[in-house]
């Protein structure tokens, strides 16, 4: 059931470079704030209900590995000492999916949306994020695709050359979303060697810069991704 008053305005916040735990706490506060408004609205007549807000956070993290609630820690291939050697941290977190890596040169996006302002369909939500990333890649002349049965965006799926360029993992409660996507723009791809990315064996990981053979800036990719998210979700980003 959609909200009585639909709000498709989304407040965009560029967090710059931020520690993973700090960003996680930040998005949790926004996420819980929206849920709080929804709970307060529940007993009220329509004319007294508060409109729920939506946010889009873009951030770049220091080296970090995160393991989703359904993930297997065996997919982290290095121990605590080696994590310190590589200046990386590790967190078990409350999103879906398995293990992934975040780091400098990667565009991490956290849409914190009340889906009752858009559509109440988690499958459609995941596919819509994928679509926005596919459209973003197309601006760089790259053809991103979905991979049957797997979440995220890939190049040359269903072939021996399949390689992942964007990971997606989310949490939802009362139709409010948090966590999101990680698009490899120009990260150090060697860091993926220390995990089984997303728990998927024998599949490569790539980046926009690697595919194009030139450095692509994070700032440039932010503009493109923001525009495509707005287009797919029919958001008004402020």
166 classed as catalytic: no
For residue 76, the 8-state DSSP code is B
- Which of 198, 216, 218, 229 is the catalytic position? 198
Order of all β-strands in the sheet with 89-92: 89-92, 64-67, 99-102
* Phi, psi (deg, nearest 5) at residue 30: -65, -45
Query: If you compute the radius of gyration of the chain from its CA atoms, what whole number of angstroms results?
Result: 18
Q: End-to-end CA distance of the chain, in Å?
A: 26
d(CA 152, CA 133): 9
Give catalytic residue positions: 198
């Amino acid at each position: 059931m959609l909200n009585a008053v639909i709000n498709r305005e989304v407040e965009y916040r560029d967090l710059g470079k931020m520690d993973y735990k700090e960003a996680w706490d930040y998005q949790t506060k926004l996420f819980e704030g929206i849920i709080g408004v929804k709970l307060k609205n529940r007993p009220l007549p329509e004319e007294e209900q508060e409109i729920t807000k939506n946010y889009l956070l873009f951030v770049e993290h220091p080296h970090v590995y995160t393991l989703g609630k359904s993930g297997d820690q065996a997919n982290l291939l290095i121990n605590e000492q080696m994590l310190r050697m590589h200046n990386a941290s590790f967190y078990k977190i409350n999103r879906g999916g398995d293990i992934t890596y975040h780091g400098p040169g990667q565009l991490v996006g956290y849409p914190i949306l009340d889906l009752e302002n858009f559509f109440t369909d988690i499958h459609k939500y995941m596919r819509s994020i994928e679509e926005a990333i596919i459209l973003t890649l197309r601006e760089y002349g790259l053809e991103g695709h979905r991979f049957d049965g797997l979440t995220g965006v890939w190049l040359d799926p269903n072939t021996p050359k399949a390689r992942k360029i964007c990971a997606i993992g989310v949490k939802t409660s009362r139709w409010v979303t948090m966590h999101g996507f990680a698009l490899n723009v120009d990260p150090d791809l060697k860091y993926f060697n220390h995990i089984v990315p997303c728990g998927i064996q024998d599949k490569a990981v790539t980046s926009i810069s690697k595919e194009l053979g030139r450095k692509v800036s994070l700032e440039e990719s932010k503009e493109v991704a923001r525009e495509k998210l707005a287009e797919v979700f029919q958001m008004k980003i402020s």
